Amino acid sequence: MKIGRKASGGRYKRPKKKKLTGRLSQVRTIKLGDKKTKITRTRGGNKKLISFQNNIVNVTTRGKSKKSTIKNVLETPSNTFLARQNIFVKGAIIETELGRAKITNRPSQECFIQAILIE
């Protein structure tokens, strides 16, 4: 039998080396507070704005949008503990100056928060 071969004659594949692109990035959670952002380098030399804290939301009602300040996170359907810590995720229901609103974008991937007013 040749070295490095299976009993059937097939060859063993070597495991891949660890690459820089394969590592995980730091978990990003956006909390309620004054706006705090950071610029990070992404793949291909591009730049991405990352937000850590935010208190401004773009609320859309009847085709028009307005900026509003966030007062509190009321509930998060995906995880109840995130609402207690005032962490913004997609689908979370927040309390704004205009009323209750539901977050429609993914704030951890973008530097702003979009929401639709719930009536």
CA atoms within 13 A on the CB side of 116: 8
* Position 17 in a domain: no
* Position 48 in a domain: yes
What CATH code is carried by the domain that includes residue 100?
3.10.290.70
Q: Quick one: DSSP state of residue 24?
A: P
Whole-number Å distance between alpha carbons of 102 and 13: 49
- The encoded tokens of residue 111 equal 């530097």
* Position 87 in a domain: yes
* Position 104 in a domain: yes
Range of the domain at 101: 28-117
* Position 21 in a domain: no
Per-residue pLDDT tens listing for the chain (119 residues): 567 788 888 988 888 899 888 888 778 899 999 999 999 888 889 998 889 999 999 999 999 999 999 999 999 999 989 999 999 999 999 999 999 999 999 998 888 999 999 97
Q: Where are the beta strands (DSSP E) in the chain?
A: 30-32, 36-41, 47-54, 56-61, 64-75, 87-88, 93-96, 100-103, 114-117
pLDDT, residue 74, reads 95
* Position 3 in a domain: no
- Nearest-5° Cα angle at 39, 31 to 70: 25
Residue 56, φ and ψ in degrees, nearest 5: -115, 140
pTM for the whole structure: 0.78
Give the count of domains, the chain. Answer: 1
